[in-house]
Copies of this chain bind each other. A is one copy, B any other.
Amino acid sequence: MTSIKDLARHLDISIGTVSRALNNKTDVSQETKSKVLKAAAELGYVPNQAGRSLSKGKTNVIGFVLETDSEGMMQGDLFFIRVFDGMQSVLTKRGLNLVALLSPSNVEPEAYLQQIVARRFTDALVLSSIHRNDARINFLNQQGMPFATLGRSLVDGGQPWLDLDFDGVVEDAIARLTQKGHRTIALALPRNDLNLRHIMIESYRKNIAKAGLQLDEDLMIRISPGDRAGVTLVHQLINMPQKPTAVIYSDHILPFGIYRGLADLGLTPGVDLSLIGVGTRLAAFLTPDLTYYRFNLFDLGVRIAEALLTIMDDPTAAEGRPVVRESVPFTFIEGQSIADLT
C-alpha cells in the first residue's frame, strides 16, 4: 500500500503539501497540484480510509439498514436494489460509500443497530421497514447519528423521510373498484408493527366511507407471514360469509400467491376475484395482466440521498430548515385483474 508518506518522499516534498494538493486546497501552487496528482495516479495512491476517518472524524460511509422478516423473507428484494442505486448515484459524487447492512437473522435488530452506531461505522444511516412506534428513531437521535427514513412513524425524530404514497394507492384503488361496481373490498395488511399497515387502514376507512360503503372490519385482513401468504389469503377470502369481490394490497409478491391460490381453486384473477396493489417489474409476469401501481424507486433513492446530504452538511441548522418529508407518487398500470361488475 502506498501511503501519503511514500508519495511525499517520491516527490521530495512534504506530507502536508501532498495532503493539501490531494484535497485540492487553495493554498497550493497549480504546478505542485498537478505534479502530485500525476504521481498519485502513477503510484496508484488512494487515501487510506481509516487514517482519514480518524483525522476528520468522518467515515465517508452511509449505511442502508435492511430488515428481513421473521421468515427471513425480504419484503423488499428488487425493491431496495433500485432505491439503493438511486442513492449511490448521488452519494458517489460526494465520495461517500453506500453499504447495505442486513440484520443477521440470529441477532436482535436493535442490538445490531446499536453495534453499528456504537462503532461509528457510518456517518449516517437510512432506515427502512419503519414501525408505527419505531424506537430506532429516538435511539439514533440520542446517539447523534444523522439519518433518514424510508417511511414514517408516529415517533417524530425531526429526521427527513420519504414514503411511498400508499395512502394514495388505497384511495385510488377504492375509487376505481367502486366505480366498477365493487362493494365488498378486502384490504390485505402487512405485519402488525409496520406503520404502513396503519396508513393503509386509515386510508381504507376514510375512502370506504367516502364511497358510501359500509365499513366491515373483517375485510381488513392481516396477511400471514411467509411464502404462502397469498394462497392463504385467497382461502380466507373465499370462505368469508360476505365474499369480497376485490382485494387491495401493498406487498408486490403477494399477487403471485393470490394468482396461485386462485388457480388452485380453478378460479380466475380479474373474474372471480379482482386485485390491485403495488407492483414491481415482476408484475409483468402474471397472466392475466395485473392491474397495479408502480413507483419510481431510483428517483426515490436520489431524493433520500439528497435529503440525507442536507442534514449531514448542516446538522446544526436542522431546526430552522425545512426537512424533506414527502410521499412519492405512483403510476397506474392498466391490466386485467379488475372485473367490471356494472
Contact = CB atoms under 8 A, between A and B. Distances in A.
Interface string A112-146: 00011011110000000000000000000000000
A72 to B, nearest CB: 6
Contacts of A102: 81, 84-85, 88, 98, 100
A315 interface: no
B72 A85 contact: yes
A257 interface: yes
Contacts of A50: 49-50, 53-54, 59, 120
A116 B48 CA distance: 10
A183 interface: no
Contact of A285 (B49, B98, B257, B284): B257
For chain A, which range describes its interface: under 10, 10 to 19, 20 to 34, or 35 or more residues?
35 or more
B259 A282 contact: no
A106 B120 contact: no
Nearest to A60: B119
A85 B105 contact: yes
A31 B211 CA distance: 71
Please indicate which of the listed interface residues A89, A100, A257 has the most CB atoms of chain B within 10 Å of its own CB. Answer: A100
Contacts of A213: none
A82 interface: yes
A74 B260 CA distance: 24
A109 to B, nearest CB: 12
Contacts of A257: 285
Interface string A279-299: 001101111000000000000
Contacts of A240: none
Interface in A49-96: 49-51, 53-54, 59, 61, 63, 68, 72-74, 77-78, 81-82, 84-85, 88-89, 92
A154 interface: no
A88 B92 CA distance: 26
A110 interface: no
A201 interface: no
Nearest to A50: B53
Given A47-B119, A49-B120, A54-B54, A89 B77 contact: no
B49 A51 contact: no
B85 A49 contact: no
Given A46-B118, A59-B50, A84-B102, A74 B78 contact: yes
A281 B1 CA distance: 44
Contact of A48 (B74, B119, B281): B119
Nearest to A117: B46
A138 to B, nearest CB: 15
A47 B53 CA distance: 14
Interface of A: 1, 44, 46-51, 53-54, 59, 61, 63, 68, 72-74, 77-78, 81-82, 84-85, 88-89, 92, 97-102, 104-107, 115-116, 118-121, 227-228, 230, 253, 256-257, 259-260, 263-264, 281-282, 284-287
